[in-house]
Amino acid sequence: MKKHFCFVVAALILFSCTSCNLLIGGEYIAPTKGIREYKVDYIKKYESTLNAMFDNAWTLISVEDKYEEHEPICCHVDTRPQQFTEWSIEYHDGNGEFRTFVFDNRSTLGSQIMNYIRDYISEYYKENFYDVYINDFPLAGSSYVFCFFVRMSSYTSYEAVKDIHETTKKYQSLLDAPEGTICLSKLTPANAFERAPIYLSVSVGLSGNSSYGQTFEENIIKQTEDMMEAMNEFANNRLNAHVSVGYHQIVNMHTGNRDRRWAFLQGKKTNGFGDREIFESYKGIFW
């Protein structure tokens, strides 16, 4: 009887372990295969959207079959190797310069368009403004220039911003379609805030502490103000941005505040803005 009981328990354990291998995210996986394959041809699926994105003037310069492996995390996360296709398209932007849009078939085209614009704009403003104006100051590793699409804040209850959530979600879902996508052939770093509902988050984090002195703090605040004004002028006075200047450590500035914060909303300097204000500023344009 004991032998029979041990055999049943062993069989159940074996079955449970096998089930973990066969069921990941509710999807059946053949244990001998274990590869997540993406087979949709995005060039065929989104041909009309690509024509709208690039004003019917784009060149497919490469198609690559890719294979990526991922380190196991736990049985609830799909970490199978991925087999997918990656495409590279060359086009002229709004300034007539060649650029390359690289995408694959693992996620929606719309999400990749947003990622592309976020990276493009944040990198441009960092390299051409932030690194130029702030380069000589002792910055902490926490300093950054990020770009975001207008979205619902994770710090706000869903009910409070339900209209923002639903409207921006609909806008983003239409980026896959020719009638709702963003024309990258007309996009430039200067007009990006007019052609996409985006804003920058700029942090000037200082390494060290308040021993630098008040004159040092006033200098870097003035330099940051000059930088933001130059950004706004470059962006056709349509800049959307949060900016903060302060120490990386929990150290107050000589003004007694933790940091200095201000913002630009559609090119106008303000004390700051939240989800509602940035959302409302694009009403009649994107929603």
- CB distance 102 to 88 below 8 Å: yes
User: How far, in Å, CA of 149 to CA of 275, rounded?
Assistant: 11
Q: What is the pLDDT of residue 180?
A: 98
The H-or-E segment that residue 9 falls in is helix 2-22
- The Cβ of residue 278 has, within 10 Å, a number of other Cβ atoms equal to 21
User: How far, in Å, CA of 14 to CA of 20, rounded?
Assistant: 10
**pLDDT tens-digit profile, the chain (287 residues):** 444 444 444 444 444 444 343 433 333 344 436 889 999 999 999 999 999 999 999 999 999 999 998 776 666 677 789 999 999 999 999 999 999 999 999 999 999 999 999 999 999 999 999 999 998 888 888 899 999 999 877 667 888 789 999 999 999 999 999 999 999 999 999 999 999 999 999 999 988 777 778 899 999 999 999 999 999 999 999 999 999 999 987 788 888 888 899 999 999 999 999 999 999 999 999 99
Q: For 108-220, where are the E strands, in sequence order?
A: 144-149, 198-206
Q: What is the pLDDT of residue 155?
A: 67
Q: What is the pLDDT of residue 100?
A: 98
What number of residues does the chain have? 287
Q: Would you list the domain boundaries of the chain?
A: 26-106, 108-287
Q: What is the pLDDT of residue 14?
A: 42
Q: Residue 155 corresponds to which amino acid?
A: Y
CA angle (123, 128, 134) in 5-degree steps: 100
Q: Tell me the C-alpha to C-alpha distance, in Å, between residue 142 and each of 27, 202, 249, 274.
A: 40, 11, 10, 22
The H-or-E segment that residue 270 falls in is strand 268-270
Question: Collapsing DSSP states into helix, strand and coil, what is residue 50?
Answer: helix
Nearest to 230 by CA among 132, 106, 96: 132
Paired sense of beta strands 198-206 and 36-37, if any: unpaired
Q: What is the pTM of this model?
A: 0.84
- CB distance 34 to 80 below 8 Å: yes
User: How far, in Å, CA of 67 to CA of 22, rounded?
Assistant: 21
